[in-house]
Amino acid sequence: MICRTLQDFLINIKISDMDMRHFNEGINSVGNCKIKNAVLDMFDSFKDEKKNKSNTALSYAKQKAELWNFIGNQSYEAYSEEFLDKHIDSEFHSHRFFYRGVANKDYKLVSGIYRNNEKEENYYFHELQVRCPNILAHLKNFNKLTYMQHYGSPTRLLDITANPLVGLYFACESHFEIDGKVSIFGIRSDEVAYETSDRVQMLSHLQELSREEQEQLQILSYIYLFKGKFPQSTNSKYSDPEIERFYYNIQKENNAFERGIVPLDMLRPVFVQANQDNPRILKQDGAFIMSALDFNETDSDGKLKKHVIKELIIPAECKKTILSELETICIHKASLFPELDTVSQYLRNR
């Protein structure tokens, strides 16, 4: 759908019953229970095999390797199936809507750390703590992420807004020779998390880990995806040491965090309504998408597109006109970036 004026945009951002039907039909087309049945059959065969063999490191490694060989080639389909089973709701009134505007319609929906050729996530996390200890030392992990995002460090956060006009501004603000785009996300209200939620706290601890450690967690999450939980030994500890270490790191920050890590929650992104304690977040009606464990740009983009109900294209030749219209209702760079240097630059350029 193409929007050439502010009026077009305001008309087309409305989500209709037809939009919701189309959204749900698209989601429902991806299920493939063959994957689920095949994985569960492989689990059963491993159980039978272990009856006559001790649980050696070699047999454990074989299980992970064989399951990963199967799931690894179909990981997105496996994720899609489990996501579909638990998290799609066709009730129109139960959704909240968020917006993301980009100046180039071909940009993928992907957080900074999953963009091609980016350094490892824990590199930025540890280096910034070493170099800026007075700023970051007293913050919890999620607040460290938002601070890093605010100052341009690649993180697993992606900026979104609850205000469609803010999304439109960002679709028009640059690249005047390229069409822009506003994506409209529909999220079940009970799936929108606050920064104190267990899921947000859990995923915010991924930034402490190396890429290799994250890949191990990802493998285990897909292996146990259809079981619904990670196995625990008789002393309640997680059977897999990688999961146990990850749990321990979370509990160091939150003693009340329980042993209830769900494999799907390690793989699916979460929409976060952040505290409005930052002038920029407040002015932009800001929120975030926090990525979970993704393979690459394509994987991350595909997961987030599951939540996109509608996309609106902003033609390149209309961007400057729309920016002028937005300025008349106080949507401009100085209002959205209220820091002194940005406001001063805005006033100089008027």
What DSSP string runs through 150-167?
Answer: HTT---SEEEEES-HHHH
pLDDT of residue 139 exceeding 70, the answer is yes
Q: Please report the pLDDT score of residue 52 as a whole number.
A: 56
Which spans in 258-328 are helix H? 279-283, 297-305, 319-327
Average pLDDT over residues 226-235: 87
In this prediction, residues 235-245 reach a mean pLDDT of: 92
* Confidence label for 65 from pLDDT (cuts 50, 70 and 90): confident
pLDDT, tens only, 184-214: 999 888 889 999 999 999 999 999 999 989 9
pLDDT of residue 314: 98
Distance of alpha carbon 129 from alpha carbon 131, whole angstroms? 6
- pLDDT of res. 288: 96
CB 106 within 8 A of CB 180: no
Mean pLDDT in residue range 138-145: 91
DSSP 265: G
**Cα gap 233→244, rounded to integer Å:** 11
Task: Share the mean pLDDT of the chain.
Answer: 87
Q: What's the confidence (pLDDT) of residue 86?
A: 60
Q: Do β-strands 95-102 and 270-273 pair in parallel, antiparallel, or remain unpaired?
A: unpaired
Q: How many helices (H) and strands (E) does the chain have?
A: 17, 7
Separation of alpha carbons 135 and 141, rounded Å: 13
pLDDT of 84 above 80: no
For residue 101, what are the β-bridge partners? 182
Q: Which residue has the tokens 């039907």?
A: 21
For residues 115-132, give the mean pLDDT. Answer: 90
**pLDDT score for 179:** 98
Task: Name which of 280, 206, 276, 282 is nearest 245 in CA terms.
Answer: 206
Whether the CA torsion 17, 23, 26, 28 is positive or negative: it is: negative
Q: Quick one: pLDDT at residue 93?
A: 60
HSE-up (13 A, CA, CB side) for residue 274: 28
Q: Give the integer Cα–Cα distance in Å for 320 and 177.
A: 11
In the predicted model, what is the mean pLDDT of residues 323-329? Answer: 96
Q: Which tens digits make up the pLDDT trace of 24-55?
A: 776 666 666 777 777 777 767 766 665 555 56
Of 76-85, 142-151, 154-163, the poorest mean pLDDT is in: 76-85
What global pTM score does this model have? 0.88
Task: Report whether pLDDT(101) > 80.
Answer: yes
